[in-house]
Structure 1
Amino acid sequence: MPLTRSQAELLAREGMAALRNGNAATAYDKLLLLQGGAPGIPAPWFLIAQAAQALGRDEEADAALVKFLAVEPRHLAALLTMAALKVRRGDDRAAQSFYRTALNVAAQPGATVPPMLVPMLRAGETFLAEVASRFTEHLDQILVGTRGATGKHSARTQQALDLMAGRTELYLQQPSMFYFPGLAQRAFFEREEFAWVAAMEASTAAICAELDRVLATDDGFAPYVQSTPDRPAPANPLLDDPSWSAFQLWQAGTPVEPNASLCPQTMAALASAPIPVIAGRSPMAIFSRLKPGTHIRPHHGMLNTRLICHLPLIAPDGCGLRVGAETRHWKTGEMLIFDDSFEHEAWNRGQETRVVLLFEIWRPELTPDERAALTDIFEAIDTYQGAAVDTG
């Protein structure tokens, strides 16, 4: 005989009271009588699951939670209860799925997490971290014999494994002004990939000699990020700060005098690189000086159609450059080449000043026709609104 609404309400109250008092057996017996529901009262599957779980009846608890989550798929307490149940039953893959869903629900804007569920969320985070660690160890053990003659995976294979294991973050090109599609998502390029690099590196001593003469007078360096009276000041903590400064050799497509004439060997070395020639914009080349204790905060460059080149001239310990997920350190005379449309930052935590010769080159993947088209595009942009200024 079907239950009346009043009978169902009484059983529900008695069942919940028994649960609160720790009498799981009585709660289970009473709540189970409601599995068929009653007029206006759905079956209390979540309460049934809680009682069953307290009695160690995991299979019945699992079945009840499945029915409840079919109706309430984003119910935080039920998701966490199911996740803990899956852990207890040894189903780690299912537990991961329920914990991730629960954490996503809790992180939604406006979500309110009852205090009693916070320890369960923290337990989920701990579980996911432990599972990820075990999974990584499993992969490392299984794949140890698949790394080839070098004993290492290729850089791309290792990056894919690190991303999957959560050992690194995914960074992508995010230029602040202009995005060209279809270019490789690479933070760093290797110096051996460019035929012109060896000759420029061979000129390091001559370039350093010219830099020494410049530094002896300390004239010509100006803050890299500068305020201008006709523009809002950029929100950069190094605004008008000589801690990060530039000695301009090429600026907006024009040699800067007398600086260029003071550095003829440097100007000659720059002529060998595939530097864009764009009216009012490029070539650009500077001696970039970073004083001790200076941090260039994370930021994105304006374009992904170029690469930034650093020829280190003074490279003390304690200095570094992070581009995307990878950090490298400058070595005197060894070119660093990177895509500055990735998030990047630099620092000098040492005791001496760092100086690099900084300039830009075309992305090597761009065809001659694409370079010509981009030159026309950038010149057209600048004739309309003026050249964009890199504010770091």
Structure 2
Amino acid sequence: MTPEIDACFAAIRAEHGADSLDRVEEMLRPRRRSEHRHPLQAAAKWVLPGIPQLPWHDPYGHPEILPLVKALEAAHPRIKADQERAWASSRERFSDYEHYLVRQRDWQALYLYRDGRLAEDAAPLAPTAYAVLEEHAVATGLICPLLESHFSTLLPGAAIAPHCDLWNFSINLHLAIDIPDGAGIRVAGETRAWEEGKCLLFDYSFEHEAWNDGDRTRTCLLADLWHPDTTPPERAALTVLMTEIQRMMA
């Protein structure tokens, strides 16, 4: 590890206790890369031990996440109207989604949160979703600053190939905005359908894929949140750790 990471970990332990980062330290041991993983997590790079190996989660089952879920679902009609207006009038503001594995032209994104902060230039285009995220995800520290929130639009015929994301210490929330027949998502071999106006919640360190075989775009609002089984000191340490690793890799 670097001096910056060492100093951060030492400060966190001094404040929260000598054992507060035991799981993070265990994750960094080389043997952890392959041990104690679900087979469908095999391609994830970082697996924090002690996180339940549960691909699908009840979006109403985590008290920390529930206020965000309720706020998003209650605001769905206004969020959908904002998104449709933005897609019709400001199509150039949507970009090809650049997943860490691939860039897809048939997967379009309008970012509301990225690089550790709200995307202020998106507020006029998506004021309702922006306000909900600001109040219930950003101000509360629920959103993972390493990742993002965006409108995710799959064009007709688009497919996202099966893959695992990088780690298991964040979790992916989907609010279904506009869902045509023929759109679906599969996580760890289990296929589910989005229900417009409702949320899905899953651990994307498990292999997952999505597709749109419908005749119009499929749009969800995605938010990358801290996994509810992580602790505040772990979140602080993981933010510094992964930021430094990404800096070194760049």
State TM-score, norm by structure 1. 0.49
Q: Which structure is higher in helix share?
A: 1
Q: Are the counterparts in 1 of residues 182 and 212 from structure 2 also a CA contact under 8 Å?
A: yes
Q: Residues 383 and 293 from structure 1, CA distance in 2 versus in 1: closer, same or farther, beyond 3 angstroms?
A: closer
Deviation at 1:226, TM superposition (A): 7.5
User: Comparing both structures, which one devotes a greater share of its residues to strand?
Assistant: 2
Aligned-CA RMSD value: 2.0
Structure 1 residues 368 and 225, CA gap change in structure 2 (3 angstroms): closer
- The one of 62, 84, 92 aligned to 1:219: 92
2:112 corresponds to 1:249: yes
Give matches, 1:1-392, under 5 Å: 171-174=39-42, 176-194=44-62, 195-196=66-67, 197-217=69-89, 218-225=91-98, 236=102, 239-241=103-105, 243-271=106-134, 272-273=136-137, 274-277=142-145, 281-282=146-147, 284-386=148-250
Q: Which has the higher contact order (CA 8 A, sep 6+)?
A: 2
Contact 1:276–1:362 (CA under 8 A) maintained in structure 2: yes
Alpha-carbon separation, structure 2, partners of 1:219 and 1:188: 34
Partner amino acid, structure 1, of 2:78? A
User: 2: distance between equivalents of 1:226 and 1:365?
Assistant: 25
Give ranges in structure 1 of 5+ residues lacking alignment. 1-169, 228-233, 387-392
Matches of 2:214 and 2:246, distance apart in 1: 39
Residue 257 to residue 192, structure 1, CA distance change in 2 (3 Å): closer
Counterpart residue identity of residue 166, structure 2: M
Asked if structure 2 preserves the Cα contact closer than 8 Å seen for 1:314 and 1:332, the reply is yes
Identical columns (%): 37
Runs of 5+ in structure 2 lacking a partner?
Answer: 1-37
**CA–CA distance in structure 1, aligned partners of residues 71 and 120 of structure 2:** 25
Contact 1:171–1:325 (8 Å) recurs in 2: no
Larger-Rg structure: 1
Paired with 1:362 and 1:384, the residues of 2 have a C-alpha distance of: 23
